């Protein structure tokens, strides 16, 4: 129990720290009034009124305390751009991003894990060379290059799939592949390496000596042991997906939190950016907490030692 409490307190501290850092950085990065209204389009009096309206004329520490007090009651401010609650603006976009990320995660697991297993079981075989080579290429290719390349081939040349929008299931294919390809490559390489390590363990030889078939060896001994480190990389990959969503959603005009973040940063829409940061941090911290807890459930060695430190 103390392990869960310790991890939860650390998670809470991480969230407060990051939200504070983003609050300060966004206010030090430039005047939102100038970013939204433009210095040349409005007289100084209008700019001053704008600052007064949104409380931007207050000292930063005062703004921060007001923000914390409001956040504690569930009020995260209003969007500068359309004057709606920032939480509502973000929540409207959240399902789109979650759907895209879930689809990408399915692609990652369906392609990355089997590819890694095949590469490990067929080590030094042409299958291994093909999987490892493809994994290196996809891991090294930036999201925006892959996304634009896919649009060029499948939307412009072949006219098979739409390049933007959300109207049908076909619209999710290209962004999900763009999202999932590099993660699948990372998973394939990671699964290959961990599985090869497990296959070399003496208990695998011992299991073979007891007459276990290769299939049972793989399912009962190799994969469960190789799968544990996979949990860690699954947690890490969420961070990469959040960052990647900004690029992928912008390329494919996907109405999600990533695209909202890009436009909100451009307009210095502070309240929206802070809600996005809070959501992102909370999701990442909760994922890592879940991974830590799953470790203790799945790995008896960690359970015995009182949890990972």
State which of residues 12, 145, 152, 216 lies at the interface with other proteins (CB under 8 A).
Answer: 216
Nearer to other proteins (CB atom), residue 158 or residue 304: 304
User: What tokens does 51 get?
Assistant: 């600052």
User: What tokens does 94 get?
Assistant: 């959240």
Angle formed by the axes of helices 143-150 and 223-251, nearest 10°: 70
Nearest CA-CA partner of 195 in 177, 214, 222, 169: 222
If one asks whether residue 207 binds other proteins (CB under 8 A), the answer comes out as: yes
Burial class for 104, CB neighbours closer than 10 Å (0-12, 13-18, 19+): buried
User: What tokens does 263 get?
Assistant: 């436009």
Q: Which residues contact 261 (CB under 8 A, 6 or more apart)?
A: 246, 273, 276
Nearer to other proteins (CB atom), residue 230 or residue 257: 230
If one asks whether residue 52 binds other proteins (CB under 8 A), the answer comes out as: no
Q: Residue 225 Cβ, how far from other proteins at the closest point, in Å? A: 6
- Residue 276 · residue 260 · CB < 8 Å: yes
State which of residues 12, 53, 136, 205 lies at the interface with other proteins (CB under 8 A).
Answer: 205
Nearer to other proteins (CB atom), residue 68 or residue 216: 216
The span of 16-24, 57-65, 75-83, 220-228 binding other proteins (CB under 8 A) equals 220-228
Q: Residue 133 Cβ, how far from other proteins at the closest point, in Å? A: 18
If one asks whether residue 210 binds other proteins (CB under 8 A), the answer comes out as: yes
Q: Residue 206 Cβ, how far from other proteins at the closest point, in Å? A: 5
The span of 32-40, 271-279, 288-296, 299-307 binding other proteins (CB under 8 A) equals 299-307
- Residue 280 · residue 18 · CB < 8 Å: no
Q: What angle do CA 104, 291, 99 make, to 5 degrees?
A: 25
CA atoms of 221 and 194, how far apart (whole Å): 13
Q: Residue 128 Cβ, how far from other proteins at the closest point, in Å? A: 12
For residue 85, give the 3-state DSSP assignment.
strand
Q: Residue 123 Cβ, how far from other proteins at the closest point, in Å? A: 8
If one asks whether residue 129 binds other proteins (CB under 8 A), the answer comes out as: no
Q: How far is CA 167 from the centre of its chain?
A: 24
If one asks whether residue 215 binds other proteins (CB under 8 A), the answer comes out as: no
Torsion of CA 206, 218, 241, 15, to 10 degrees: -50
Nearer to other proteins (CB atom), residue 78 or residue 221: 221
x-or-dash pattern for other proteins, window 258-287, by CB under 8 A? ------------------------------
CA atoms within 13 A on the CB side of 262: 16
If one asks whether residue 224 binds other proteins (CB under 8 A), the answer comes out as: yes
Nearer to other proteins (CB atom), residue 139 or residue 232: 232
x-or-dash pattern for other proteins, window 88-127, by CB under 8 A? ------------------------------------x---
Q: Residue 129 Cβ, how far from other proteins at the closest point, in Å? A: 14
State which of residues 93, 192, 221, 259 lies at the interface with other proteins (CB under 8 A).
Answer: 221
- Residue 28 · residue 272 · CB < 8 Å: no
- For residue 78, what are the β-bridge partners? 85
CA atoms of 269 and 292, how far apart (whole Å): 35
CA atoms of 147 and 177, how far apart (whole Å): 8
Nearer to other proteins (CB atom), residue 159 or residue 210: 210
The pair phi, psi for residue 31, each rounded to 5°, is -80, 120
- Contact residues toward other proteins (CB under 8 A) are 124, 201-203, 205-213, 216, 220-221, 224-225, 298-301, 304
């Amino acid at each position: 129990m103390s392990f869960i409490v310790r991890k939860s307190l650390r998670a809470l501290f991480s969230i407060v720290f990051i939200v504070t850092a983003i609050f300060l950085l966004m206010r030090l990065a430039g005047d939102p009034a100038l970013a939204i209204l433009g210095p040349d389009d409005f007289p100084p009096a209008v700019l001053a009124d704008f600052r007064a309206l949104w409380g931007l004329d207050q000292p930063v520490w005062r703004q921060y305390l007001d923000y914390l007090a409001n956040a504690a009651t569930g009020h995260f401010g209003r969007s500068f751009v359309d004057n709606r609650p920032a939480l509502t603006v973000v929540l409207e976009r959240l399902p789109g991003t979650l759907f895209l990320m879930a689809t990408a995660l399915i692609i990652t697991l369906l392609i990355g894990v089997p590819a890694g297993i095949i590469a490990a079981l067929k080590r030094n075989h042409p299958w291994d060379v093909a999987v490892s080579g493809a994994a290196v290429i996809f891991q090294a290719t930036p999201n925006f290059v892959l996304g634009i390349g896919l649009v060029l081939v499948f939307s412009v040349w072949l006219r098979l799939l739409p390049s933007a929008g959300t109207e049908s299931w076909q619209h999710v294919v290209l962004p999900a592949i763009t999202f999932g390809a590099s993660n699948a490559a990372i998973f394939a390489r990671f699964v290959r390496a961990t599985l090869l390590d497990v296959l070399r363990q003496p208990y695998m030889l011992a299991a073979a000596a007891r007459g276990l078939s290769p299939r049972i060896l793989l399912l009962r001994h190799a994969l469960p042991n190789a799968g544990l480190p996979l949990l860690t990389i699954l947690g890490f990959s969420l961070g990469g997906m959040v960052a990647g969503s900004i690029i992928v959603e912008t390329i494919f005009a996907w109405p999600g939190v990533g695209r909202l973040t890009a436009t909100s940063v451009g307009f210095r829409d502070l309240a929206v950016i802070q809600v996005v940061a809070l959501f992102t941090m909370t999701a990442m911290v909760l994922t890592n907490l879940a991974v830590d807890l799953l470790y203790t459930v799945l790995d008896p060695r960690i359970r015995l030692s009182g949890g990972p430190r």
